[in-house]
Structure 1
Amino acid sequence: MKQLAIIGALLLTGCMTPKAMPERSIAELSADMAAGRTSSEELVATYLKRIDTIDRAGPTLRSVIATNPEALAQARALDAERRAKGPRGPLHGVPILVKDNIETRDAMATTAGSLALAANVTRRDAPLIARLRAAGAVILGKTNLSEWANFRDGDSTSGWSAVGGLVKNPYALDRNACGSSSGSGAAVAADLAPAAIGTETDGSIACPANMTGLVGLKPTVGLISRTFVVPISASQDTPGPMTRSVADAALLLTAMAGSDPADAATAGADARKRDYAAALTPDVLKGRRIGVLRYRTGHDARVDALFEAALAQLRERGAELVDIAESGVPRTLGDHELKILLTEFKAGLNAYLATTPPAVTTRTLAEIIAFNAASEAEMKLFGQRLFVDAEATKGLDDPDYLKARTEAKRLAGADGIDRLLGANRVTMLVAPTMGPAWMTDLVNGDQYSGGSSSQLAAVAGYPHLTVPMGLVKGLPVGLSFIGPAWSEAELLAAGHAYEQASRKWRAPTFVERSTELP
């Protein structure tokens, strides 16, 4: 049997130092730096070596598009600051990877995976990155993604971009890592960094976190700024953390949350944000009524068995579970959502491109469509039907768009999640996030298995947390916690309580073919 796990283990041993062991939490890394057992410079050097050994060679995950040439210098400066003044907080000196649709001021392009943005070196920090830096984080590099955050064509292959190639799932290299935050998920699962930042419009954090065995949080739209993030939808886009533990996600969210004058959706963020890590209390599930989305089961008996085991552990922790048989949300929600995304994408992308450096010669969606049509590298796997449809939209004043936006928010929010919570007198909802990773198929595109629990929260703009629920034939699946707007603290606390009871995270084995999984 050809087993890359053995090779991978040897590679990992070769690129580790005694002072920087793999699969350490942010709290553990912070404690190691505080005690002098390691430094930020040593951590950055170790993770950069792991990227070279695992991502560029060995299993060749292709999860990292670019490493930050300034990371080691930034780490040295933070080490000096620690010695002189003490740490800024738990993120001081911690290396973080960032999805390559989020700008950083470092000497790296922000490409969204597209060759059309290969020269997009803006030298400006997105406000969420500025907040991470202020907390002491080191930007280690940029992660690969489904090109244009998976909004170019309906027949796309998740995890592929013309800039970065195809991201492989570290649990089985022939399986998909989902998207669009594919590289963020695969890199953290493979311990190429302790954590990464992804973005989601609908499922782009939840799905890759599900398939790479991670905790992923899509926050309430407006809790984290979207300024200088390549856009799809002003109604639905949000960055969020992808980590190996709920506690790490809480630390990152605490650092990133806050208002931004340039992003009107964040006006209430300063009043709503809190110390999310401090809210992780062990007895949070006692007496809490939780709605069980039974209509999200029945796709895969193996996933359902893990879900039942998860529900049993929630009960053991004191939760009162209430079955919900139907969503009551009509299928027309999907039609409304697509209208919103197409219209907002054209408007948002044209506005974004107008702010890019002169070296970026594609200044409108129409020009990017023409660029792609002339590029064999861009068009070799799939087309750009969504781009063409978006270009044909009539703008943000279009009555059909305005109607779709109003209807979608009502169906997913007031008549969706809010109604399910109120009618069943529950504080949050749980469901399987989706099925295990499918086989990557460059001919037929993505083959989604087990449906997805992301749509209602995505369209409503409400938070959605996924936590590892177990393995199906060696492939991870997640448990979703969904709540009303601004309920991140409650969801993280519940997810943490479940995580501590279940302990379902398992390291990937880097097998070449999924038939070799145990």
Structure 2
Amino acid sequence: MQRRRLLQSAALALCPAACEKKRRSPLPFATLADLTSMIQAEQTTPLLLVEHFLERIAQIDRSGPRVNSILELNPEAKTIATTCKPGLLHGLPVLIKDNIETADAMQTTAGSLALRGHKPKRDAALVTRLREAGAVILGKTNLSEWANIRSPNSTSGWSARGGLTRNPHRLTHSASGSSSGSAAAVAAGLAPAAIGTETNGSIVSPASACGIVGFKPTVGLINGAGIIPITHHQDTAGPLTLTVRDAELLMQVLAENFTATPLPDILIGARLGVLRTQSGKHPQVLALFEATLQKLRDAGTIIVDLVELPNAREAGALAWKALLIELRADLNAYLEQRGGDVRSLAELIAFNEQHRDTEMPHFGQEFFAQAEQLGTPEIIAAGQEARKLAMQLAGPEGIDAALKAHDLDALICPTNDPVGLIDLKSGDTNERVASTPAAVAGYPHLTVPMGFVDGLPVGFSFIGTANDDAHILALGHHFEQLTQARRAPAFSAG
């Protein structure tokens, strides 16, 4: 290691102009594909990339605008950059949400003080895959504590351990949740990509709110071992990136069985069904959506309007009934096997009460308390029946039925309405996000930047059937090439 550093210092002394050019080469918003090309062309190195992003984090996340998206930096990042394996992600910095286990110098806490000091014994399965593909784990991102399942009055992007993450487009506004830090960091150019998790909206909502790409894959496609759970029926990790192509690249690494399918001109003749019931009533969002639909028509896409999504409301209600029951069971199992001072939901509730000043200064733990009461055999059996019916109604009798009725390639709608002002006293303002149908069904959902309303990003959603992930990503890639809607954040103070 010392010899490598001496050689780098000697090279800088011999060719300062050329090497300095290399240091300037990585742009804040260079994509994974861009950076791979630069490494292969010897225009940069993994170590220079890590140094570049660490400098930007210091300038933007820790000071300056203070987006506050990153909980903890990996002290081994520079060392890893000099020894990382060859692979699809060789030398590329990636951030990881703090509810995904890493067995290294960093903590894994879901933003909670209760899990500090008790590190996981092994990497999450997806982290192992990232390391084997040559990625450099740059750090852990902040999140809505416990992935936003503690209280109905929570503020997205806040955790007791990490404080508040802000939207890089407008710092006074929400970054949304629960993968708020992952989305905000990528949007701010602090890393080319991050890994988030979603149970219902926690990837697509912050991605759309922060103006980047977010992909929630089919549940089960990415191994969930080592992710702090809410419910295994809906939980999944997924990529947050600057482009759809980068999300596709990450899926090739993260997923157990995923093959990208290059499909030229896929929008020509594609049949996309508009879900008006999921599109909301915000006039500016709907106007932007209509303009985008016209671009698609002009590109040769067939837009099928007024597609009905059967059973959506009933499926969502049943899934929620099951979710808190599943939360208790899945979280108890996780905490018990992990060890530490808190080994059950009941002990976690007690910890929060004992540390109320630091853990609950803004909102409580009503959902935790409710879930803890849902452990009788009768309640568990009722939850299992509710989950089974919810998945049937949302999937085969919901999304699949809508796709088949109109011979559609995908369902579409605006992902979100513009996010609201941050208000820690009152909690989230709960703007519309079209996430529940795909979340309950466990089906793929991609959001791609569509444009801006009053300076805040709005996304465009593609929803497909189970395991149609590659097709959905291909549609999103060509949509992205057509619309070119992403833009750098302004870090506006108001």
TM-score interval, smaller chain: over 0.9
Displacement after TM superposition at 1:333 (Å): 2.7
Displacement after TM superposition at 1:296 (Å): 2.5
C-alpha contact 2:316 2:440 (8 A) present in aligned 1? no
Identity among equivalent positions (%) equals 51
Query: C-alpha distance in 1, partners of 2:442/2:455?
Result: 32
Displacement after TM superposition at 1:324 (Å): 2.4
Query: C-alpha distance in 1, partners of 2:184/2:466?
Result: 28
Specify which of 471, 474, 485 is matched with residue 504 of structure 1: 485
Aligned 1:301-316 pairs, distance under 5 A: 301-316=283-298
Aligned pairs, number? 472
**What's 1:67 paired with?**
73
**What's 1:76 paired with?**
82
C-alpha contact 2:177 2:205 (8 A) present in aligned 1? yes
3-state SS of paired residue (2:426) = coil
User: Which portions of structure 1, spanning 4 or more consecutive aligned residues, are displaced by more than 3 angstroms?
Assistant: none
Structure 2 length normalisation: TM-score? 0.93
Query: C-alpha distance in 2, partners of 1:293/1:301?
Result: 16
Query: C-alpha distance in 1, partners of 2:280/2:198?
Result: 26
Residue 88 of structure 1 pairs with residue 69 of structure 2: no
Specify which of 213, 237, 256 is matched with residue 235 of structure 2: 237
Displacement after TM superposition at 1:344 (Å): 1.1
C-alpha contact 1:55 1:61 (8 A) present in aligned 2? yes
Which stretch of the first structure deviates more once superposed, 249-258 or 30-39?
A: 30-39
**What's 2:108 paired with?**
110
Question: Cα RMSD over matched residues?
Answer: 1.5
C-alpha contact 1:200 1:240 (8 A) present in aligned 2? yes
Aligned 1:3-22 pairs, distance under 5 A: 17-22=23-28
Displacement after TM superposition at 1:280 (Å): 3.6
**What's 2:413 paired with?**
431
**What's 1:142 paired with?**
140
Letter in 1 for 2:288: L
Query: C-alpha distance in 1, partners of 2:376/2:65?
Result: 45
3-state SS of paired residue (1:354) = helix
**What's 2:426 paired with?**
444
Change (3 A) 1:475 1:396: farther
Letter in 1 for 2:422: T
Residue 171 of structure 1 pairs with residue 183 of structure 2: no
Letter in 2 for 1:227: A
**What's 1:329 paired with?**
311
Displacement after TM superposition at 1:300 (Å): 0.9
Residue 55 of structure 1 pairs with residue 61 of structure 2: yes
Specify which of 443, 453, 457 is matched with residue 462 of structure 1: 443
Which stretch of the first structure deviates more once superposed, 69-78 or 157-166?
A: 69-78
Letter in 2 for 1:38: T
Displacement after TM superposition at 1:484 (Å): 0.2
3-state SS of paired residue (1:285) = coil
Listed as ranges, the gaps of 5+ residues in structure 2 are 1-21
Query: C-alpha distance in 1, partners of 2:377/2:71?
Result: 33
**What's 1:292 paired with?**
274
C-alpha contact 2:312 2:437 (8 A) present in aligned 1? no
Query: C-alpha distance in 2, partners of 1:88/1:220?
Result: 24
C-alpha contact 1:433 1:453 (8 A) present in aligned 2? yes
Aligned 1:173-322 pairs, distance under 5 A: 173-258=171-256, 270=257, 273-274=258-259, 276=260, 279-322=261-304
C-alpha contact 1:215 1:245 (8 A) present in aligned 2? yes
Displacement after TM superposition at 1:144 (Å): 0.1
